[in-house]
Amino acid sequence: MSNPLLLTDFYKTIHHMCYAEGLTKLVSYWTPRMSRKEDINKVVMFGLQPFIKKYLIQYFNENFFNRDKKEVISEYKRVISNTMGDIASDTKHIETLYDLGYLPIQIKAVAEGLRVNIKTPMIEITNTHKDFAWLVNYLETFMSCNIWQLMTSASIGYRYREIVEKYFNLTVDNGDVKRACGDFSMRGFSSLESAEFSGAAHLLSFIGTATIPAIDFLEKYYNCNIENEIVGLGTPSTEHSVMCSYGQDEYLAYKRLITEVFPSGTLSIVSDTYDYWNVIIKILPRLKEDILSREGKIVIRGDSGDPVKIICGDKNATKGSEEYKGTVELLWEIFGGEINSKGYKVLNNKIGTIYGDSITIERCVEICKGLEEKGFAVNNCVFGIGSYTYQYNTRDTFGFALKATHAVINNEEKFIFKDPKTDTGNFKKSQKGMCYVYKDGEDILYKDELTIKEQENKKDNLLELVFKDGKLLKDYSLSEIRNRLHKSF
């Protein structure tokens, strides 16, 4: 395991020598500065707690404070001297930190699960000891690479929840919106840790998932337990290797799976291995009685083609063809169902459909709208959300950055800020001074240019103390975060 003081960018290692003389306090704010996602103008606060528990406490203790001092210092000096030169490899500040025995850092943050407006600070970080102002922004890179993805995926997952909830309210009688979207993204991530991050964020808005490690992550860092609450649920499902193992005799495959392997319960069967429409219009009718007599549901999963057309039908196809009708209408013709109190068709509860390939926010809207226009309840289809949605993002999706805005230099408070003239959209302009974050109706906004005392007098400041001097001071649970995000999960 690496020395945590080496888990940063090279340039951070010399900033302790570069700050203005007399600097004894630095205050910085983590802020989403913009949105590159249409219809997302708020960001979900999520993911700081694991970073504090795993890294600021456990990792720093095990890999810095509890190790031999000479070993820690020589390790740091070896790397910096051989890559940046002798001047850059000064270690007095590292030795002083080691001798102190804890991280002299204070972090305030809005409560996890709150949705914060773009440009509103979410996290405040400062030093608690005059000798360690340099440490505040030293932690920026380490913190940023551990929290931006959780916040980004949580915000995108919430947007999916908004979409399906809107159409559930319009078309569904008795349906659980939390089951409307499952997380299929793990295989498309760059690492196990990034899959855990994003998978956990998805589970703030939904309970369906294929990402098992996300559940362990939430149990470890967010005070939940699958033995007494629903954290996430998987679904028995086949993949193409299973279907291919039967050759092209798809009737045999379906018959055995439905009657012998899973004679009860939910089973999702990938159905496009050879001829998707043939499965629906030829094979499923032959298995109709087997399906209807089962205790449970068979879910037909398309996995190729245009998701909107596969589920809702293609208006440009030959009228009356299977392509024209689409999956949901064809299943209605075979298995029937009922009309709910809102006037929408609901498939027989022994059959359903899911689509887990190439789903995007835009396609989710199109499918929901397409089903509604055809008179079908939206809960006839489940969405599998993959890595195109959750991995195809960067820190700049919401412009996250930690910027210094306040300092104490020679016992005098200073408002510090950046405001580049070449930044024509004011994207990079930072706040000034201390910040106060407050609720205004459905929005969470901020006021800056405050002194330390002026900020302290704002008793309703949403920035709450969560970490100080090596200790966690707030410990949120998953259920608390879910209920804060959705009012009632």
Q: What is the pLDDT along the chain (489 residues), one digit of tens a residue?
A: 689 999 999 999 999 999 999 999 999 999 999 999 999 999 999 999 999 999 999 999 999 999 999 999 999 999 999 999 999 999 999 999 999 999 999 999 999 999 999 999 999 999 999 999 999 999 999 999 999 999 999 999 999 999 999 999 999 998 999 999 999 999 999 999 999 999 999 999 999 999 999 999 999 999 999 999 999 999 999 999 999 999 999 999 999 999 999 999 999 999 999 999 999 999 999 999 999 999 999 999 999 999 999 999 999 999 999 999 999 999 999 999 999 999 999 999 999 999 988 899 999 999 999 999 999 999 999 999 999 899 999 999 999 999 999 999 999 999 998 777 786 766 667 799 999 999 999 999 999 999 999 999 999 999 999 999 999 999 999 999 999 999 888
Residue after which a domain boundary falls, among 372, 391, 410: 391
Same domain, 363 and 417: no
Same domain, 89 and 209: no
CA–CA separation, 157 vs 161, rounded Å? Answer: 6
CATH number of the domain bearing residue 87: 3.20.140.10
Same domain, 144 and 231: no
The tokens describing 320, both together, are: 């009356």
CA–CA separation, 336 vs 160, rounded Å? Answer: 28
DSSP one-letter string for 241-288: HHHHTTTT-HHHHHHHIIIII-SBS-EEEE--SS-HHHIIIIIHHHTH
Residue after which a domain boundary falls, among 391, 408, 430: 391
Bridge partner list, 107: 125, 467
Same domain, 168 and 264: yes
Contact between 125 and 139 (Cβ < 8 Å): yes
- Which of helix, strand or coil describes residue 14? helix
Residue after which a domain boundary falls, among 391, 426, 460: 391
CA–CA separation, 283 vs 367, rounded Å? Answer: 25
- State how many domains the chain has: 2
- Which of helix, strand or coil describes residue 107? strand
Name the DSSP class of 349: T
Same domain, 442 and 369: no
Q: What is the pLDDT of residue 415?
A: 96
Same domain, 224 and 273: yes
Same domain, 276 and 328: yes
The edge-to-edge listing of strands for the beta sheet with 381-385 is 208-209, 181-183, 381-385, 351-355, 298-302, 267-270
Same domain, 382 and 435: no
Tens of pLDDT, residue by residue over 366-402, are 999 999 999 999 999 999 999 989 999 999 999 999 9
Same domain, 101 and 210: no
Contact between 124 and 69 (Cβ < 8 Å): no
Tens of pLDDT, residue by residue over 122-154, are 999 999 999 999 999 999 999 999 999 999 999
Same domain, 183 and 328: yes
Same domain, 308 and 351: yes
User: CB burial class (10 A; 0-12, 13-18, 19+) of residue 87?
Assistant: exposed
Quote the distance between the C-alpha of residue 86 and its chain's center.
Answer: 42
Q: What is the pLDDT of residue 418?
A: 72
Q: Give residue 69's domain range.
A: 4-151+397-486
CATH number of the domain bearing residue 263: 3.20.20.70
Angle, CA of 92, 96 and 102, to the nearest 5°: 145
Same domain, 403 and 433: yes
